[in-house]
Homo-oligomer: A and B are copies of this chain.
Amino acid sequence: MRNDQRKNNDIRPISITTNYIKHAEGSVLIETGDTKVICTATIDEKVPPFLKGEGKGWVTAEYSMLPRSTNVRNVRESARGKQGGRTLEIQRLIGRALRSVVDLRALGERTIWIDCDVIQADGGTRTAAITGSFVALVEACNLLINEGKLDRLPITDYLAATSVGIVGGEAMLDLAFVEDSSANVDMNVVMTGTGNFVEVQGTGEEAPYSKDELFKLLELAEQGVKKLIEAQMETLGELELYSNDKSNGGKNGK
């Protein structure tokens, strides 16, 4: 039995509150257990310089933790004068993951900025940020449709993420902070609604892991992501996904 009475293949209770911040084009408070992240989506009718005139849009993300979202206060990165390596790594991951299910050509020449701000952290903040951001992103796209700027969703699949790991010799799903900090192996998995992998990042700093262990962890992750996507569906309803004919246009509009 785990600390919070979960079985190894249970995810924590999940809650997704939409329209959380009145100014944003899409906004979500996602809670997975005691981890709470505000995800907003901002529409910017410009693209970054490297995409100008390409007929494609862009999705990019930023991530931050409030100083006291953690057990010990962490110094504000704005006060430090730079974003740390962990922050940059996470926000690159979030942006990359979201772009994997967006047809950038269908989005049109605009950027959607995703901001993920961790209000309270208890493990799995980056995966919660991805799961919540997907919802905020869809909301922003829905707004573009309502405003007549898009005909249909440029979203090709659902997307969610969870963490898995080996703790005390056992493979576990959706690690809370206390589990994460004693894990020998720690893996973040981002998957689509159709069950494909977008990112697999598994780290065995404390102890390298065997192929069998790797497979066991992937199976747990599949179970977890499936439940998270069910929660997204409850919130968003069934989405009319964008189908890009890959045999013709190739590489997802990118």
Contact = CB atoms under 8 A, between A and B. Distances in A.
Interface string A85-108: 111110110001101110000000
A78 B64 contact: yes
A68 interface: yes
A240 to B, nearest CB: 19
Within the oligomer, what is the number of copies of this chain?
6
Nearest to A246: B207
Interface residues of A, number: 75
A195 B199 CA distance: 22
Contacts of A40: 66-68
Interface string A202-222: 111111111100100010000
A74 to B, nearest CB: 10
Contacts of A97: 205
A140 B128 CA distance: 29
Contacts of A197: 202, 204, 208-211, 214
Interface in A31-83: 34, 38, 40, 42, 44, 62, 64, 66-71, 73, 76-83
A211 B209 CA distance: 18
Nearest to A215: B215
A223 interface: no
9 closest pairs, A vs B, by CB? A85-B88, A196-B208, A77-B78, A40-B68, A78-B78, A42-B73, A24-B68, A200-B202, A89-B89
